[in-house]
Structure 1
Amino acid sequence: MPQFAANLSLMYTELPFLERFAAAASDGFSAVEYLFPYAFAPAELAARLRANGLRQVLFNAPPAGLERTAMASAWEQGARGTAALPGREAEFRAGVLEALRYAQALDCPRIHLMAGLLPAGSTRQALEPLLVANLRWAAAQAGAQGCQVLIEPINLRDMPGYFLNRQDHAHALLDAVDSPHLKVQMDLYHCQIVEGDVATKLRQYLPTGRVAHLQIAGVPERHEPDRGELHYPYLFDLIDACGYSGWVGCEYRPAAGTRAGLGWRPVRKTA
Structure 2
Amino acid sequence: MTKWTVNCSLLYTGLPLLERPAAAAADGFTAVEFWWPWPVAVPDDREVEAFVRAVEDAGVHLSGLNFFAGDMPGGDRGVVSWPGRSQELLENIPVVAAIGERLGCRAFNALYGNRIDGADPVGQDELAVEMLTACAKGVPGTVLLEPISGAPRYPLLTAADAVAVLDRVGQGTGLLADFYHLAVNGDDVPAVIARHAARIAHVQIADAPGRGAPGEGELPLRRWIDDVHAAGYDGYVGLEYRSEGPGAFAWLPRDERAATSK
TM-score under structure 1 normalisation?
0.84
C-alpha distance in structure 2 between counterparts of 1:203 and 1:124, whole Å: 30
Query: Which residue of 95, 99, 117 maps to 1:98?
Result: 95
Alignment of 1:215-230 (within 5 A): 215-230=204-219
| Root mean square deviation, CA, Å | 2.0
SS at match of 2:248: helix
Aligned position for 1:249: 238
- Which residue type is aligned with residue 42 of structure 1? V
Query: What do the CA deviations read for 1:88-130 (whole angstroms, capped 9, x no partner)?
Result: 2212211222222322233211211122110124454442222
C-alpha distance in structure 2 between counterparts of 1:176 and 1:204, whole Å: 18
Query: What do the CA deviations read for 1:57-99 (whole angstroms, capped 9, x no partner)?
Result: 11111124xxxxxxxxx33444322111223221221122222
Query: 1:154 and 2:148 equivalent?
Result: yes
**Runs (5+) with no aligned partner, structure 1:** 65-73
How far apart are residue 51 of structure 1 and its match?
2.2
Query: 1:213 and 2:202 equivalent?
Result: yes
Aligned length: 249
C-alpha distance in structure 2 between counterparts of 1:41 and 1:88, whole Å: 22
C-alpha distance in structure 2 between counterparts of 1:223 and 1:8, whole Å: 14
Does the 8 Å CA contact 1:124/1:163 hold for their aligned counterparts?
Answer: no
Aligned position for 1:239: 228
SS at match of 2:89: helix
C-alpha distance in structure 2 between counterparts of 1:245 and 1:166, whole Å: 22
Does the 8 Å CA contact 1:32/1:56 hold for their aligned counterparts?
Answer: yes
Query: 1:17 and 2:17 equivalent?
Result: yes
Alignment of 1:1-271 (within 5 A): 1-38=1-38, 41-64=47-70, 74-122=71-119, 124-142=121-139, 146-155=140-149, 158-179=150-171, 181-206=172-197, 208=198, 210-254=199-243, 257-265=244-252, 268=256
C-alpha distance in structure 2 between counterparts of 1:136 and 1:107, whole Å: 21
C-alpha distance in structure 2 between counterparts of 1:46 and 1:101, whole Å: 10
Distance 1:77 1:98, change over 3 A: farther
TM-score under structure 2 normalisation?
0.87
Which structure ranks higher in relative contact order (CA pairs < 8 Å, sequence separation ≥ 6)?
Answer: 2
C-alpha distance in structure 1 between counterparts of 2:191 and 2:75, whole Å: 34
- Which residue type is aligned with residue 222 of structure 1? R
Bigger shift: 106-115 or 77-86? Answer: 77-86
C-alpha distance in structure 2 between counterparts of 1:123 and 1:167, whole Å: 23
SS at match of 1:92: helix
C-alpha distance in structure 2 between counterparts of 1:218 and 1:59, whole Å: 22
C-alpha distance in structure 1 between counterparts of 2:138 and 2:16, whole Å: 33
Aligned position for 2:260: none
Q: State the identity as a percent.
A: 33
Distance 1:123 1:164, change over 3 A: farther
C-alpha distance in structure 2 between counterparts of 1:13 and 1:174, whole Å: 32
SS at match of 1:135: helix
C-alpha distance in structure 1 between counterparts of 2:51 and 2:104, whole Å: 11
Bigger shift: 189-198 or 14-23? Answer: 14-23
How far apart are residue 154 of structure 1 and its match?
0.8
Distance 1:12 1:87, change over 3 A: closer
Aligned position for 1:69: none
- Which residue type is aligned with residue 240 of structure 1? H
C-alpha distance in structure 2 between counterparts of 1:223 and 1:215, whole Å: 13
Query: What do the CA deviations read for 1:187-211 (whole angstroms, capped 9, x no partner)?
Result: 11100011232122112222x1x21
Does the 8 Å CA contact 1:153/1:166 hold for their aligned counterparts?
Answer: yes
Does the 8 Å CA contact 1:183/1:211 hold for their aligned counterparts?
Answer: yes
